[in-house]
Structure 1
């Protein structure tokens, strides 16, 4: 037991005294004062400028805040994309749909005595022809006749035949789209005849006379437009004859 007590006293024995504690406190105060003085000297000295990229430097006229760039009206006014959007045509014109041309062509068909404008009739506008073909099939359907296939089939074959004949007769030639456009617009009087068939029967003298008048109306309008567009003066009767045969087929669908 004496040995254990001596070991404890030797283990816990140290040379630390109160004087040493006071001396260490003075040293810590000295180190603190030295740190504060160096800190004050560092604050008084100018700090070296750190490297800042030129992209991050703000211009003198910058009026915005950080992460909120100021709007520059001059940039948007001079942007080529804004000008290109303003100069773009409307969507209907890009699709080839011109309501003024449709109205002019329709009025030319409704008035056979009005001279046709060849520059307008040369355009391959199929909006009106498709609309008139659908209207003809719809009026026939309301009259109890499902003839959509015959209307589309005869229209396509008739356009091919008239296209071949006009290319043989004219020196300038004509496109298939132009032929389809003219024949489709001139189908409007036949739509009127099929509309009459919805209310009364055309299988009689009145129906026969009305059909002949409508066939002459359609063929006269189509031949007038073809003559004006292709500069085929003196050949209107030659052009009107195959057109009358084509519209006669539509008249037979309407009557029977």
Structure 2
């Protein structure tokens, strides 16, 4: 015997029955918008960007004027080397004056600078590095000590009349390092420990001593009275640097 079950009928939201007629499709609602109903009392607020009033407190920057003014300012600025105090023409003239030990132009060295001395010291260290000797720290240290030594010796000899400052002394010693730099470059092609390297060392040391002594005597007051002592101090300085090349 079969038993009957009382099943309640299924009621769809459209109110229709799929067995009796076609079903109506519900239209999907837009995202972020609630379904509208008759009982809802709060309407949906729509935000319209274009309806907001334009603010008058913000001022649009004029990029064309700023760029034009900046370019005009850049055109009026001096070159970078001139701002750093590096005068390549002056360095070249001072270097050319040292190449002739018999005609030293002291007027070119009245304006002291450290650009040329640093260049010569770095070149000296580079040639020593090519020879297998790392002497950058030693060269810079010895140059500073030599400048202090010559500054103290000269001012002790000149007394109150001495007008040689440390900055000019360092500049002169650095520029007169050019013969030692040339000796370091030529020593790469000369056998070490031979007679030729010692003869070259003597020539270049005397060259550097003569140039440095002439510049100190002409640029500093009371230098002509103590030319021999100044030459001896310069000879000791450049002989010390030449020992780095020979040994």
TM-score norm. by structure 1 comes to 0.63
Q: Does 1:181 align with 2:179?
A: no
Residue matched to 2:56: none
Corresponding residue pairs, total: 181
Query: Which of residues 165, 178, 183 in structure 2 aligns to 1:193?
Result: 183
SS state at 2:82 partner: helix
Structure-2 separation of matches of 1:202 and 1:107: 29
SS state at 1:111 partner: coil
Structure-2 separation of matches of 1:112 and 1:245: 18
Contact residue 104 and residue 211 of structure 2 kept, 8 A: no
Larger Rg: 1
SS state at 2:85 partner: coil
Give the C-alpha shift of residue 240 in structure 1.
1.3
Structure-1 separation of matches of 2:170 and 2:186: 25
Residue matched to 1:117: 106
Structure-1 separation of matches of 2:192 and 2:227: 29
TM-score norm. by structure 2 comes to 0.65
Give the C-alpha shift of residue 172 in structure 1.
3.8
Structure-1 separation of matches of 2:162 and 2:98: 24
Give the C-alpha shift of residue 126 in structure 1.
0.6
Residue matched to 2:34: none
Contact residue 202 and residue 208 of structure 1 kept, 8 A: no
Deviates more, 1:153-162 or 1:169-178: 169-178
- Mark the CA change 1:206 to 1:226 in structure 2 (over 3 Å): closer, same or farther: same
RMSD: 2.7
Q: Deviations over 1:72-128 (max 9, x none)?
A: xxxx9xx9xx79974x5443223221122111211121111113233x313231111
Residue matched to 2:85: 96
5+ residue gaps in structure 1? 1-66
Contact residue 166 and residue 173 of structure 1 kept, 8 A: no
5+ residue gaps in structure 2? 1-59
Greater share of residues in helix: 1
Contact residue 194 and residue 254 of structure 1 kept, 8 A: yes
Query: Which of residues 99, 124, 132 in structure 2 aligns to 1:144?
Result: 132
Query: Which of residues 219, 230, 237 in structure 2 aligns to 1:239?
Result: 230
Structure-2 separation of matches of 1:109 and 1:198: 23
